[in-house]
Chain A
Amino acid sequence: MENLTVSAGSEELVHGINFEIRRGERVGLIGESGSGKSLTCLSVIGLLDRGLSATGRITFGSVPTAATTAGSEPEGLDLLTADENELARIRGDRLSMVFQEPMTALNPLMKVGDQLSEVIRIHRPKTPNVRDKVDELLSSVQIPDPARTATVYPHQMSGGQRQRVMLAMAMANGPDLLLADEPTTALDVTVQKRVLNLMVHQVQHAGSSLLFITHDLGVVSEVCDRVIIMRHGRIVESGSIHRVFTAPEHPYTRALIAASSLETHPTTGRLLTLDTPKDFEHSPPDHSDAAAGLPVVSASVPAEPQPEIEHLTLCAESAPAVFNTVDSPAIRVRDLTRTYGKNRVFGKSRTVQALRGVSFDVARGQRFGIVGESGCGKSTLLRLLTALDQPTSGRIEVAGNSIVGRSERHLRWLRDSMQLVFQDPMGSLDPRMSVTDIIAEPIHRASRQERRFRVEELLEQVGLPISAAGKYPHEFSGGQRQRIAIARALATRPQILIADEAVSALDVSVRAQVLNLLDDLVKEYQLTLVFVSHDLNVVRHSCDVVAVMKGGRIVECGPADSVMASPDHPYTAELVAAIPHVREGAP
């Protein structure tokens, strides 16, 4: 790739980047949102969205091999000047791609087998026994019962299976280069690990090169030999994984590595962040004024002395345990179950047991983490805790008052004392409301004056300028929106804050800032924090106690460090092992 420039109209998004991928090499392209990594990838395969144009030169396959000499392709095809026919001929054959969203990247109306056989037939119309080839491909990506799987539709498969099918499709014709754009970001960690291993195995087996786009440094270090780090449309650093991760040269790389492994400042205990001069205006860096009024407390020392927390594990035989028991807790949950679906008169009853007997306490001022993969019941638990749904059986008490079976009219106090921050900062703010209206909505009973004062106070506390008050959500970045969401949650001065994957959608550097902010606010407001996440690392940093959920139960619960360091339950152990780590070690 020589001098690749991607522009949208007159705006240049990728500024003349150069790199090369050798045959059989696995290269990771790392960057945060807006770094231009996906645009670079789409330029290679010629699928940039309309309105975007790429200039420069991307030479593909200049070194002849057995595969290319057999074909009639001219050597060293320039992908940017090639016409649609030439591109269509190599796409899916010598050059293929795996996309981020396995849910939407497959045609929902076509059987999986047909979608696989299509890619073979497009390029090798005369292939005999395509069915067998499809079965072979499916079993090569470890899909059980390939013959049956070929006849199902994508919606009948899990996310991991769909991504395997995508991988099988991309590898069907043994491509020279596989492009993978955040292929595992939408998957659970344990599934991610398996899919990544499979991808590396497949690419090695076929002798293909790999360009792997990701924001996750841990993932890239498990997959690639070499990394390229991009920022604002430029390459800031590149080199072998080992060199870049152990001796990063560029300050951005260093900051990125620190932020993604949640490194803390040696004296303050605060997470290290990326202090970009560009952001000074909007979000003051964490170490300065936003936090100035607060006492510097090391994160490793809890604000209040915590009672001894027992580290318990669910045993298959015994009755479900009560986890984290304390006296007069902020939240008490006992034998909570929730079953969805109903018994039907006709046909089989279809019920899903989302929660199967969950009991735990959350002490006042405690930071309680809930970890689990998709479908483990954590979302259901949150809906019940916030009285947005009613349990099938069991009790929930908040500050000693039951919230089960109460009408909304009798839950006003709960709405004031318990607030939520959601995952998606884009979707959880009304785009047609100004920031002031969003933040002040929960306190609409206060006077105009009071509301204005409170909004300004909150904006300052979350590190946004007062001038943000009159703006609308689309004028802010993801991290800033999450700050707005936090400000809104704090407007009523709640005792309990529930964060539902609140940092999962954020870039790592922004994630560190928001986590620091949450830490500060928990102390300042003396909040009880219930922090739900799929990310064990984040929970370990932000929580005192962590509960691991699986299949509608808590399988293990205890002090965060102890659960992470010495998991008792096999599932927790699997979860811990599956976390991708930035490869570190002796040089």
Chain B
Amino acid sequence: MLLNALRRVGVFALTVFVASLVVFFLLGVLPGDPARAQLGLQASEEQVQALREQLGVDRPLPVRYLEWITGFFTGDMGVSYASRSPVGPQVLDALQVTLLLVLGGIGVAVLIALPLGILAAVRHHRPDGTLFSGLSQLGISIPNFLAGLLLIAVFSVALGWLPSGGWQPPVAGVDFLRHIALPALALGLVNGAILARYTRAAVLEVMREDFMRTARAKGLKPGAALVRHGLRNALVPVVTVTSIEFANLIIGAVVIETVFVIPGLGSTLIRAVANRDLIMIQSIVMCVVILVLLVNLLVDLLRPVIDPRLRIAS
């Protein structure tokens, strides 16, 4: 089991390495010269060349890759082509904000999905079960930015309970919660609806299993059988889907941050793209990649804990 975990960590490291190559060289061959982008079309060729040398973008790609990747993992991500300030602190600040937002979103999603999915499955042959299924179907079809706008319209504009945008760090306590509530809700609603459908399917499948009949034959009532035997079995696919959803949430966060004017990775990334700030883009994309891979790694390690059949027999 430990060996298996080590192997997964090894695969993770290898994947990160390959991803870094892809990210760097793909962005490296993109058209668009960061020096030209900054100086504008009026600048002379000499001025552009001088800036290129200053930024170091005139050197061969492999050299720049090595410099970037060693810097990335030692905390020195280089200097922004656009603002000439260090990339590291900017990325880390933005990352922290987005991470909190995404975790909030996941929390909301799971809190919605589990009860809704389980209820929809247990009562699938009754009108209310169909209603729950319908609700989750509706949730899937609403884009998250629209959900965000609707939430703002209701809770900020009409009721005035929560701020319509902006950000406060966690140290701000209640103010932090007030600011994260709506964006996390907007982010979690849609993904919660998707997750609810998976949960419903997983629970429905488990309820058809032979061992559930065994549980009833032992003298457990249907509800107790589901809680004691069913849910843990249904959890395995749900956890896997949640980890896949995590990547979607990060993408979703980019949009939601724009709706709620939050200084996260999304807004930083959009600014960097506009400025051809390659080194910033690389670092942000790399952070997102590592984050997603990390979550997948955690889930891979978690699944054998839930399901003994996935442990390699020794």
Residues of A that sit less than 8 Å from B by CB:
45, 47, 50, 84-85, 88-93, 96-97, 99, 101, 104-110, 118-119, 122-123, 153, 155-156, 166, 169-170, 346-348
B-side contacts of A109, CB under 8 Å: 232-233, 306-308
**Nearest residue, chain A, Cβ from B229:** A107
Among B125, B228, B232, B308, the residue within 8 A (CB) of A50 is B125
Query: Would you call B210 and A105 a contact (CB within 8 A)?
Result: yes
Query: Would you call B3 and A45 a contact (CB within 8 A)?
Result: no
Among B211, B217, B222, B314, the residue within 8 A (CB) of A107 is B211
Alpha-carbon separation in the docked complex, A346 to B228 (Å)? 38
Query: Would you call B210 and A90 a contact (CB within 8 A)?
Result: no
A-side contacts of B309, CB under 8 Å: 108, 153, 155
Query: Would you call B308 and A122 a contact (CB within 8 A)?
Result: no
B37 to chain A, nearest CB (A): 49
Alpha-carbon separation in the docked complex, A334 to B222 (Å)? 57
Among B7, B221, B313, the residue within 8 A (CB) of A88 is B221
Query: Would you call A123 and B214 a contact (CB within 8 A)?
Result: no
Query: Would you call B218 and A91 a contact (CB within 8 A)?
Result: yes
B271 close to A (CB within 8 Å): no
**Interchain residue pairs with CB less than 8 A apart (19):** A47-B213, A50-B125, A84-B221, A88-B219, A93-B219, A96-B217, A97-B217, A105-B213, A107-B211, A107-B215, A107-B233, A108-B211, A108-B233, A109-B307, A119-B218, A156-B313, A169-B218, A347-B3, A348-B314
Among A88, A106, A155, the residue within 8 A (CB) of B214 is A106
Alpha-carbon separation in the docked complex, A125 to B210 (Å)? 25
**Nearest residue, chain B, Cβ from A84:** B221
Among B7, B214, B222, B307, the residue within 8 A (CB) of A84 is B222
Max count, chain A CB within 10 A of own CB: residue among B3, B209, B216? B216
Alpha-carbon separation in the docked complex, A170 to B213 (Å)? 13
**Nearest residue, chain B, Cβ from A348:** B314
Among B7, B216, B306, the residue within 8 A (CB) of A91 is B216
B220 close to A (CB within 8 Å): yes
**Nearest residue, chain A, Cβ from B236:** A109
B-side contacts of A156, CB under 8 Å: 313
B187-226 vs A, Cβ < 8 Å mask (1 yes, 0 no): 0000000000000000000000111011111111110000
A340 to chain B, nearest CB (A): 15
A14 to chain B, nearest CB (A): 19
A282 to chain B, nearest CB (A): 31
A346 to chain B, nearest CB (A): 6
With A107-B215, A109-B233, A346-B3 known to touch, is A99 a contact of B228 (CB < 8 Å)?
A: no
A-side contacts of B306, CB under 8 Å: 109
Residues of B that sit less than 8 Å from A by CB:
3, 7, 125, 209-211, 213-222, 228-229, 232-233, 306-309, 313-314
Closest 4 CB pairs of A and B: A92-B219, A92-B218, A104-B210, A91-B219
A-side contacts of B7, CB under 8 Å: 346
B-side contacts of A89, CB under 8 Å: 219
Query: Would you call A45 and B211 a contact (CB within 8 A)?
Result: no
Among A90, A101, A108, the residue within 8 A (CB) of B219 is A90
Alpha-carbon separation in the docked complex, A429 to B306 (Å)? 36
With A96-B217, A109-B233 known to touch, is A104 a contact of B313 (CB < 8 Å)?
A: no
**Nearest residue, chain B, Cβ from A104:** B210
**Nearest residue, chain A, Cβ from B309:** A155
B-side contacts of A47, CB under 8 Å: 213, 216-217
B-side contacts of A84, CB under 8 Å: 221-222
Task: Supply 18 further A-B pairs (C-beta < 8 A) apart from A84-B222, A101-B210, A348-B314.
Answer: A84-B221, A85-B221, A89-B219, A92-B217, A92-B219, A96-B218, A97-B217, A99-B214, A106-B214, A107-B214, A107-B215, A108-B308, A109-B233, A123-B219, A153-B308, A153-B309, A155-B308, A170-B217
B-side contacts of A93, CB under 8 Å: 219
Query: Would you call A45 and B217 a contact (CB within 8 A)?
Result: yes
Alpha-carbon separation in the docked complex, A104 to B214 (Å)? 9
B-side contacts of A106, CB under 8 Å: 211, 214
A135 to chain B, nearest CB (A): 19
B-side contacts of A166, CB under 8 Å: 214
**Nearest residue, chain A, Cβ from B313:** A156
With A88-B220, A92-B219, A156-B313 known to touch, is A105 a contact of B307 (CB < 8 Å)?
A: no
Among B125, B213, B222, B307, the residue within 8 A (CB) of A108 is B307
B-side contacts of A85, CB under 8 Å: 221
Alpha-carbon separation in the docked complex, A218 to B198 (Å)? 46
A-side contacts of B229, CB under 8 Å: 107, 110
B161 to chain A, nearest CB (A): 43
Alpha-carbon separation in the docked complex, A91 to B220 (Å)? 8
B272 to chain A, nearest CB (A): 42
Max count, chain B CB within 10 A of own CB: residue among A97, A107, A108, A170? A107
**Nearest residue, chain A, Cβ from B306:** A109
B-side contacts of A118, CB under 8 Å: 218, 228
Alpha-carbon separation in the docked complex, A108 to B229 (Å)? 9
B-side contacts of A110, CB under 8 Å: 229
**Nearest residue, chain B, Cβ from A89:** B219
B48 to chain A, nearest CB (A): 52
A-side contacts of B314, CB under 8 Å: 348
A-side contacts of B228, CB under 8 Å: 118
B-side contacts of A101, CB under 8 Å: 210
A-side contacts of B222, CB under 8 Å: 84
Among A96, A105, A123, A347, the residue within 8 A (CB) of B211 is A105
B-side contacts of A45, CB under 8 Å: 217
Query: Would you call A91 and B233 a contact (CB within 8 A)?
Result: no
A181 to chain B, nearest CB (A): 10
Alpha-carbon separation in the docked complex, A348 to B209 (Å)? 35
